[in-house]
Every structure is written in C-alpha cells, then in structure tokens.
Amino acid sequence: MPNICSFQLLLLASLSVTSQSIEASTCFGTPRKGRIEGAVALPTDGPNFKAYSLVGVTLRRNYVHEKVRDVVVAAYALLEKKLPDQTFVYGETGWPKGGDFAPHKTHQNGLSVDFMVPLRNPQGEAVEFPSSVMNKWGYGLEFDAKGRLGDLTIDFNAVALHLQALDEAAQKAGLRIRHVIFEPEYQGMLRAAPAWKKLSFPLYPNKVWVRHDEHYHVEFQTDCKP
C-alpha cells in the first residue's frame, strides 16, 4: 500500500495532466468580484522557485490567467542570473474557476498572486522562506517594523528585482502591474532599494485588512469581460 507522500505525488501528477486548460483564459469582473474561465496552474516548482505548500497545490489554490502564469515563470527565469543563490516562494493565487477565495478579499479572477518575501541571514546568505503547516504555510509569520524575523531579514532589493522582472515580463505579455500591496511601513525601505529606481507602478498606500509583511500581493491588469 503506498504511503501518504506517494499518494499525494500521484494525485498531483493526475491533477497536472487533467486540470490544465485547453482554452484561452478569459477573466471576468474584478479581483474582488469576478471569475475566470480557462485558468491554468502555476508550476509547483522550477530551478529557482517553488510553491508555498504542497497541500495548497493539491487543493488547486494556485490557478491564474494563462498570461499571468507565463509572466510569473518568465520573471523567475530572468532572476536566475541576477540572484542565482535565491529560491523564491510564491503564495496563493486563486481557484480554477475563480470566485470567492477565503480568507482573501481578492484573488477572484486569475490576476492576483501572492509572493512570499525573500530572506537573508546575518551572514548575508539567501535563505528559503520557511513555509510549513506550523506557521499557516508562511501566512502566520510576523515580521517586525524593520522586516526582521528572528535572525532573518527581508531582502528588499531582491523584492525590487523580482518586481522589476515581473514588470518586464508583463509588458512583453501585454499585461501591466496594476498595483502592489506591501506593508506600508516597509515601502520606504523598498523604495530605497537600488533596483527600485527602474520601477514606476504604484504601491498601495494604505493598510489593508491583514498585514502584508510576510508576502507582497501583485495585482495584474488586462482586459476582462464584465
């Protein structure tokens, strides 16, 4: 009898084959009140990235518009040379058909992606984001006002480089970044990062219903049907 881990891998393999869209993605409405047809799953992992949770992937909480999928993967490819020591971790995105995605207030039409913050240790070495069931797959972690968690610190320049790569890939794909939600107390540190100088899209200025300290929420924009 296969063990639980083997069963999960078999289930994931089955989902990856059967659940991918054979039609072009079409978004409807808005990230707060919308849906999507023809959504696709983000890859579970790649050379320099991985999903926040095998459970979340199994539950199909990593679906997006196909253009967003292409942008996310292309951005990670761009970062392989710029940050070769960093393994990036993406968070939740949305359901295969969109709609209400509790506990998130948005993520409804395939254009929203959460990205967990890249980290450095006291020696300046890149450290993979510590996502586990014990910390709600990363969403339960609490960073202080200076972006620190124990002896780990948010790498704000790596965040800016990632956003730069996303912006570049989005423009090539015919999308644009509508805005980025990141904890307001961190935005000054992000804007001070060298890589931020090349960016011009807006950071959402106000606090939202939950702290965005352990992740930054990227909202893409394209033409959606009503």
The answer to whether residues 76 and 115 touch, using CB atoms and an 8 Å cutoff, is no
**Is residue 177 a part of any domain in this protein?**
yes
**Terminal Cα-to-Cα distance of the chain (whole angstroms):** 49
**Is residue 174 a part of any domain in this protein?**
yes
C-alpha to C-alpha distance for 52 and 37, rounded to whole angstroms: 24
CATH number reported for the structural domain that contains residue 92 in this entry: 3.30.1380.10
Q: Which domain covers residue 82, as residue numbers?
A: 4-221
User: Which amino acid does the sequence have at 118?
Assistant: P
- CB 181: neighbour CB atoms within 10 A? 21
C-alpha to C-alpha distance for 44 and 13, rounded to whole angstroms: 11
Question: Considering its fold, how many domains does the chain have in total?
Answer: 1
Helix (H, G, I), strand (E, B) or coil at 221: strand
> If the chain, 226 residues long, is cut into consecutive pieces of 10 residues, what is the mean pLDDT of each piece?
37 41 85 98 98 97 98 98 97 98 97 98 97 95 97 98 97 95 96 91 85 96 96
pLDDT for position 186: 97
**Is residue 147 a part of any domain in this protein?**
yes
User: Which amino acid does the sequence have at 8?
Assistant: Q
pLDDT for position 76: 98
pLDDT for position 100: 98
pLDDT for position 22: 56
Residues 6+ apart with CB under 8 A from 79: 48, 86, 88, 161, 162, 165
Indicate the pTM of the whole model: 0.89
C-alpha to C-alpha distance for 187 and 117, rounded to whole angstroms: 13
**Is residue 100 a part of any domain in this protein?**
yes
Length of the chain: 226
Enter the tokens of residue 130. 């510590």
